[in-house]
Amino acid sequence: MSSLRFNAIDKASLHKAIAIDLPDQRPDQYYGCYVFNRQKMRQYLPAPTYDALIDAIDNKKTLSREIADSVAEGMKRWAIDNGARHYTHWFHPLTDGTAEKHDAFIQHGADGTIVEEFTGKLLVQQEPDASSFPNGGIRNTFEARGYSAWDISSPAFILDKTLCIPTIFISYTGESLDYKTPLLRALNSVDKAAAGVARYFDPKVKHVHSYLGWEQEYFLVDEALYSARPDLVLTGRTLMGHESAKNQQLEDHYFGAIPSRVEAFMLDLETECHKLGIPAKTRHNEVAPNQFELAPIFEETNLANDHNLLLMSLMHEVARRHNFRVLLHEKPFAGINGSGKHNNWSLGTDRGVLLFAPGKTATDNLQFITFITNVMAAVHRHNALLKASIASATNAHRLGANEAPPAIISIFLGSYLRNVLERIETNDTEAWLNFSDKKGMRLDVDQIPEILVDNTDRNRTSPFAFTGNRFEFRAVGSSANCASAMIALNAAVADQLNQFKADVDARLEAGESLNQALLAEIRSLLAQCKDINFDGNGYSDEWKEEAARRGLDCEISVPRMFDAYLQPSSVEMFGRTGVLSKVELRARNEVKWEVYTKKVQIEARVLGDLAVNHIIPVAVRYRNILADNVLKLRALFPGKKGEELTTADTETIERISTHTATINEQAELMVEARKKANRIVDEREKAIAYHDTVIPPMEVIRYHIDKLEGMVDDRMWPLPKYRELLFIR
> Which residues of this chain interact with Mg ion, rule CB under 5 A?
342
Establish if 346 lies at the interface with ligand ADP (CB under 6 A). Answer: yes
Q: Annotate each residue in 298-327 with x if it binds ligand ADP (CB under 6 A) or - if it does not, as one string.
A: x-----------------------------
Tell me how far the alpha carbon of residue 35 is from its chain's centroid: 24
Question: In 325-400, where does DSSP find H-type helix?
Answer: 362-381, 383-390
Task: Return the one option of Mg ion, ligand ADP, none that residue 535 interacts with (CB less than 5 to 8 A, by type).
Answer: none
Beta bridge partners of 169: 148
354 is a contact residue toward ligand ADP (CB under 6 A): yes
Question: What residue number has its CB nearest to ligand ADP?
Answer: 213
- Binding of ligand ADP at residue 464 (CB under 6 A)? no
Q: CB of residue 410 vs ligand ADP: minimum separation in angstroms?
A: 18
DSSP 8-state class, residue 140? H
If the CB atoms of residues 181 and 308 are measured against Mg ion, the closer one turns out to be: 308
The answer to whether 211 contacts ligand ADP (rule: CB under 6 A) is yes
Q: Which residues contact 605 (CB under 8 A, 6 or more apart)?
A: none
Least distance from ligand ADP to the Cβ atom of residue 112, Å = 54
**Shortest separation between residue 465's beta carbon and Mg ion, angstroms:** 9
What sign for the dihedral angle of Cα 715, 716, 722, 724?
Answer: positive
SS3 351: coil
Q: d(Cα 223, Cα 226) in Å, to the nearest integer?
A: 5
Q: Where does residue 22 rank: exposed (0-12), middle (13-18), buried (19+ CB within 10 A)?
A: exposed
The answer to whether the beta carbons of residues 656 and 711 sit under 8 Å apart is yes
The per-residue b/e assignment along 62-82, b for 16 or more CB within 10 angstroms, e otherwise, is ebeeebbbbbbbbbbebbeee
Cβ closest to ligand ADP, residue 82 vs residue 469: 469
90 vs 345, beta carbon nearer Mg ion: 345
Least spacing, CB of residue 287 vs Mg ion, in Å = 12
Bridge partners (DSSP) of residue 146 are 171
Span from 11-19, 68-76, 338-346, 702-710 in contact with ligand ADP (CB under 6 A) = 338-346
User: CA-CA distance, 336 to 125, in Å (whole number)?
Assistant: 46
Query: Looking at beta carbons only, is 455 or 624 nearer to ligand ADP?
Result: 455
- Torsion angles phi and psi, residue 354, rounded to 5: -85, 120
297 binds, among ligand ADP, Mg ion, none (CB under 5 to 8 A by kind): ligand ADP
Give the count of beta carbons closer than 10 Å to the beta carbon of residue 516.
Answer: 16
Instruction: Tell me if 470 contacts ligand ADP by CB under 6 A.
Output: yes
95 binds, among Mg ion, ligand ADP, none (CB under 5 to 8 A by kind): none
Among the listed residues 22, 115, 144, 297, the single contact to ligand ADP using CB under 6 A: 297
Bridging pattern class, strands 114-116 and 106-108 = antiparallel
Nearer CB in complex with Mg ion: 342/623: 342
CA distance 302 to 314: 18
How distant is the alpha carbon of residue 357 from its chain centre?
Answer: 25
Largest interatomic CA distance in the chain: 105
User: Considering beta carbons, is residue 247 or 344 the nearer one to ligand ADP?
Assistant: 344
Q: Stretches 165-173, 223-231, 292-300, 533-541: which one binds ligand ADP (CB under 6 A)?
A: 292-300
Give the separation between CA 62 and CA 77, rounded to whole angstroms.
Answer: 23
Which is nearest to 496 in space by CA: 343, 379, 364, 409? 379
Least Å from the CB of residue 42 to ligand ADP: 27
Cβ 342 to Mg ion shortest distance, Å: 4
Q: Does 296 bind ligand ADP (CB under 6 A)?
A: yes
Contacts with ligand ADP: how many residues (CB under 6 A)?
14
φ/ψ of 103, rounded to 5, equals -125, 145
In the complex, the smallest distance separating the C-beta of residue 471 from ligand ADP, rounded to whole angstroms, is: 9
Q: Does 295 bind ligand ADP (CB under 6 A)?
A: yes
Indicate which of ligand ADP, Mg ion, none lies near residue 440 (CB less than 5 to 8 Å, by partner kind): none
Least CB distance from residue 294 to ligand ADP, whole Å? 9
Output Rg (C-alpha) for the chain, integer angstroms.
29
- Nearest CB to ligand ADP, comparing residues 75 and 198: 198
Q: Are strands 464-466 and 411-412 parallel, antiparallel or unpaired?
A: parallel
User: To the nearest whole angstrom, how small is the minimum distance from the Cβ of residue 290 to ligand ADP?
Assistant: 19
**Sequence-ordered list of residues with C-beta below 8 angstroms from that of 41, at least 6 positions apart, any chain:** 50, 53, 54, 74
Site for ligand ADP contains 344 (CB under 6 A): yes
Do residues 599 and 691 make contact, with C-beta atoms less than 8 angstroms apart?
no
Backbone angles phi and psi of 168, in degrees to 5: -90, 165
CB closer to ligand ADP, 50 vs 345: 345
CB of 482 to ligand ADP, least distance (A): 12
Cβ distance to Mg ion smaller for residue 342 or 599: 342
Task: Pick the closer one to ligand ADP by CB: 214 or 596.
Answer: 214
Shortest gap between Cβ of 185 and ligand ADP (angstroms)?
20
Binding ligand ADP (rule: CB under 6 A), the pick from 213, 338, 358, 414 is 213
Which of 91, 218 has the CB closer to Mg ion? 218
Residues 6+ apart with CB under 8 A from 682: none
Helix, strand, coil content of the chain in percent (nearest 5):
55, 15, 35
Question: Smallest gap, in angstroms, from Cβ of residue 280 to ligand ADP?
Answer: 10
The binding track of 406-425 with respect to ligand ADP, each residue x by CB under 6 A or -, is --------------------
Q: CA–CA separation, 317 vs 722, rounded Å? A: 24
Contacts with ligand ADP by CB under 6 A lie at 211, 213, 215, 282, 295-298, 344-346, 354, 469-470
